[in-house]
Structure 1
Amino acid sequence: MLIRFNVGNFLSFKDLQEFSMIKGKSEDKPRRLLHTDKLELLKFAAVFGANASGKSNLITAFRFAQKAVVTGVPKKGQSLYFRPDESYAGKPSYFEFEILLGNTGYAYGFEILLEKSEILSEWLFRLDPEGSDKALFIRDVVKGAFYTDLVIASENLRNKFNVYSDDCKQNSEILFLSEMNRAKGELYKEPSELSVFREVYRWFSESLSINYLNRPISDFSYFKDVENKEEVCRVIRSLGTGITGFEEKESSLLEMRQQLPKALYKELEEELDQRIADRARGKKVSSSMTVRIDDMYYIISLEEEQIKVSTVVFHHEGDALFEFHEESEGTRRILDLLEIFFTKEDKVYVIDEIDRSLHPRLTYKFIQEFLNAALKRNIQLIITTHESRLLDLGLLRQDEIWIANKNTAGETELYSLDEYNLRFDKKVDKAYLEGRYGGIPNFSTVFPAKEDNHEDS
């Protein structure tokens, strides 16, 4: 679960900005919170703002930091510093996540000089609500210094950790958290003091799911869960898609090959060959996989030495059958988002412009259904949106509503509506559209009307 995220000198974020999922002053709808011994966390947050206000830059900041950890510092990030002030090209950019794993909080972050793609510092702390945070490691690349409070019982693991930390002291190209998870499975065969490095890394690689426009969020794996089929159908029907059910339809490798890009199909072939070879050697491998690209979707199953390919078709009223690509864009969007209802615990979804292709009432209904589902599960959803109907204090808590506002200097500021003392019956959407909380566009006249200068005849 995400506790909070801090970012500075990245895109339109000049000075350090904080986005927090910690409960604010609002005492409304307490059942919606995740309660721990020392912390109460929100499970939902919506970020509102005008076009170019910087709300999507928040999503980009999440994604940049995630990629830096999982696949390495993005090479195309040299110009992502706060460009309205060119002096910021030579200043560090800052990223820090506070996350909750089980009942323990951790703070992980790094500073990077984007212009040169150089890591300057990195740190990981185990958080203590009483204030005695423990430094699992602090790395200062510029000074070539590495510090840790971690006590490792095993001499073998301690020696390996010291070697890895020495190698990374002055390495400005890779994060130490990434290095501790690169071909080092032997470190984690048995639980130890080092297990935290894998747990934190897996939060970035598996628990944090970030979705942009035109990038599928789901591989539709929930369609394969036979035991869950009735529940999936119920949710799809409740969202007014016109779909009454679904079933698998046999396809073929040839058909799939014709539909997929060559590079993707080649990659898929290699993966299948590897799985077949691993199975022949007695290794346990997954017997199925899903392939999703744009409006195409396939399920691949390994049965003995045979490869079976199928897709999903949808029932509508009157038993009409439609393939995925034949559904409307709005329905495809909803099917894409449904994974959120059926995913595992402790997943954090971050979705840019969730209302894209959705009717306003459907967006409202989807959020309503998510909030109900989240009552029983530890899951978080963070969205950006223009849909002002969501600014409803009957639906959302004040601390679940965030505003991204860009000032005249091009700096984005983030703030929660919880900073305002509002009555429960306040018409927040009307006040927002009137500019009461910022985050709306300022217009100038595009085509000024010319004054009539003709003289009376």
Structure 2
Amino acid sequence: MLIRFNVKNFLSFSKNESGQSEEFSMLAGKVRNKKEHVYDNNKIKLLKFAAVYGANAAGKSNLVKALNFMKYTILKKLPKGHTEMYCKIDKENKEKESYFELEIMIGKKYYAYGFEVILSQSRFVSEWLVELTSDNNEKIIFTRDIVNGKYEFGTILKEKGLIDKLNVYAEDIEDDGSILLLSAMNENKKNLYKQYSNAKILREVYIWIAKDLDINFPNRPISNYSYMENKEKMDEVCQIIKAFGTGITGAQMVDVAPEKVLADMPRQVSNKILHDIENKMSAMNNNKNLKEVGFIMRSEKDFFVLNIDRNGEVKCQTLNFTHGKENVLFSMSEESDGTIRMLDLLEILIAGENKTYVIDELDRCLHPSLTYKFVETYLQIAAQKNIQLIVTTHESRLLDFDLLRRDEIWFINKRTTGESDIYSLEEYNTRFDQKIDKAYLDGRYGGVPIFSTVFPVKGED
């Protein structure tokens, strides 16, 4: 689960008033009500939901982009265009380090992983992974001072044999300021983790970032509908989607000709799918225990499941819906944008434990009442499991103390200089009977647009 995220010198985030990084936190505040919204193991209290508000261009999406930048850089490399992603408000930022740090909980332990990078130079300058203890101390797992060519491994990694291998890996990349140690330690190192159990923390942190931190943007499908493969889940899915007033009364998988599906796709896409089918067939031939292989294809308004058996027979299915009492089937492309948005969001409601979802513009394509109902339903489900949902939104109906706690509400405001600040409603002394949505729209907490005259209105002569 996510504890904190800190960022500095990235897009609209420069530094806070103290000169430090901007901080977003899932640590529970002093609020006493709605304890079911909080994960509590008697050592740490973490929120399971947070809503981030702000005017257009205030920096809400930049917070999501910062998280995604960090994830992408760890899993792949510095993304395209990164040399221009420093905060340009201050010209001196071009030559300054950008700072990214995640604090996370894995199992019963807490870790901080981060790095500094001079974006304009495509050069990392430091990297660290530490274990955070309950007495506010830190146990070094590893640290790197890349500028001075120095690194250190903590006691946990100084196991006989392991430390010698780690020193070799570290020395191999130490002169290369474009490689992160955490990334390098998760490339073809499976045998290392099998041989040395103490090294597994390097894998566990990487896997949490890769699989448990699920970041979503408005222009991309949130889900590939993999939950639809489980027929036992279909009834649960239908019951949930009915409850949201979409008009859907049922759903079922129906057969569709594979050649028709491929013919309707761009040639580049269909060629890639055919290549994937060949690879899947090859994998099945090399594994006698596999009777069939399959994969999911998802576009903005289409969903297909391909299954291939040992004889090379390809079966393709898609998802259709029924409305009303008549058993008439409708394809996904015939459903509204709001319905498809809800189908995307269903994955969060039926997801397993320990995932942290981040969704930019939760309310896109949704009626305000539907957005409220979704968050209300999520909080009811989250009370029974360890899961987190962080959203950016403009939907003021969520600013309701009957629904949310003070510490679950965050704001991003743009200063007159153009820099973004992150802060929580917990910082304000707000009565529980306060009409929080009205106070927000009136500008009491910032994060709302300030209008000037668009054009002069001339009176009649």
TM over 0.5: yes
1:291 aligns with 2:307: no
- What SS is found at the alignment partner of 2:77? coil
Give the whole-Å Cα distance in 1 for the aligned partners of 2:155 and 2:308.
44
Residue pair 2:284, 2:293 contacting (<8 A) in 1 also = no
Task: Give the gaps of 5 or more residues in structure 2.
Answer: 16-20
Match in the other structure for 2:359: 351
- What SS is found at the alignment partner of 1:78? helix
Match in the other structure for 2:70: 65
Match in the other structure for 2:392: 384
Give the whole-Å Cα distance in 1 for the aligned partners of 2:362 and 2:196.
39
Equivalence map 1:11-90=2 (5 Å): 11-15=11-15, 16-90=21-95
Residue pair 2:6, 2:24 contacting (<8 A) in 1 also = yes
Percent identity, aligned pairs only, is 45
Q: Residue type of the partner of 2:294? A: S
Tell me how large the CA RMSD over aligned residues is.
1.5
- What SS is found at the alignment partner of 2:188? coil
Q: Choose the corresponding residue for 2:435, options 423, 427, 438.
A: 427
- CA drift at 1:270: 2.5
Deviations 1:206-230 (A, max 9, x none): 1111111110110001111112222
- What SS is found at the alignment partner of 2:440? helix
Match in the other structure for 2:318: 311
Aligned residues: 453
Give the whole-Å Cα distance in 1 for the aligned partners of 2:302 and 2:116.
40
Q: TM-score, normalised by structure 2?
A: 0.95
Match in the other structure for 2:96: 91
Deviations 1:76-115 (A, max 9, x none): 1111111121111010000000000011101000001111
Larger displacement relative to structure 2 (86-95 or 258-267): 258-267
Give the whole-Å Cα distance in 2 for the aligned partners of 1:309 and 1:12.
46
Give the whole-Å Cα distance in 2 for the aligned partners of 1:85 and 1:284.
60
Deviations 1:204-263 (A, max 9, x none): 111111111110110001111112222111101001111111111112331221233333
- CA drift at 1:173: 1.1
Match in the other structure for 2:6: 6
Residue pair 2:320, 2:331 contacting (<8 A) in 1 also = yes
Match in the other structure for 1:234: 239
Give the whole-Å Cα distance in 2 for the aligned partners of 1:284 and 1:52.
53
Larger displacement relative to structure 2 (126-135 or 298-307): 298-307
Deviations 1:59-87 (A, max 9, x none): 00011000001111113111111112111
- What SS is found at the alignment partner of 1:194? helix
- CA drift at 1:10: 0.4
Q: TM-score, normalised by structure 1?
A: 0.96
Give the whole-Å Cα distance in 2 for the aligned partners of 1:76 and 1:10.
12
Residue pair 1:211, 1:350 contacting (<8 A) in 2 also = yes
Match in the other structure for 2:18: none
- CA drift at 1:157: 3.1
Deviations 1:395-434 (A, max 9, x none): 0000000000001000100000011121211100000000
**Aligned in 2, Cα 1:10/1:283: closer, same or farther, shift over 3 Å?**
farther
Task: Give the gaps of 5 or more residues in structure 1.
Answer: none
- CA drift at 1:307: 2.1
Residue pair 1:75, 1:117 contacting (<8 A) in 2 also = no
- What SS is found at the alignment partner of 1:245? strand
- What SS is found at the alignment partner of 1:69? helix
Match in the other structure for 1:447: 455
**Aligned in 2, Cα 1:190/1:236: closer, same or farther, shift over 3 Å?**
farther
Residue pair 1:345, 1:377 contacting (<8 A) in 2 also = yes
Give the whole-Å Cα distance in 2 for the aligned partners of 1:30 and 1:133.
29
**Aligned in 2, Cα 1:100/1:259: closer, same or farther, shift over 3 Å?**
farther
Residue pair 1:73, 1:174 contacting (<8 A) in 2 also = no
Match in the other structure for 2:409: 401
- CA drift at 1:284: 5.9
1:333 aligns with 2:341: yes
**Aligned in 2, Cα 1:313/1:119: closer, same or farther, shift over 3 Å?**
same
Residue pair 1:208, 1:347 contacting (<8 A) in 2 also = yes
Q: Residue type of the partner of 2:371? A: T
Q: Choose the corresponding residue for 2:248, options 217, 228, 243.
A: 243
Equivalence map 1:142-153=2 (5 Å): 142-152=147-157
Equivalence map 1:148-187=2 (5 Å): 148-152=153-157, 155-187=160-192
Match in the other structure for 1:324: 332
- CA drift at 1:368: 0.5
- CA drift at 1:384: 0.3
- What SS is found at the alignment partner of 1:122? strand
Residue pair 2:146, 2:177 contacting (<8 A) in 1 also = yes
Give the whole-Å Cα distance in 2 for the aligned partners of 1:435 and 1:327.
37
Give the whole-Å Cα distance in 1 for the aligned partners of 2:274 and 2:357.
30
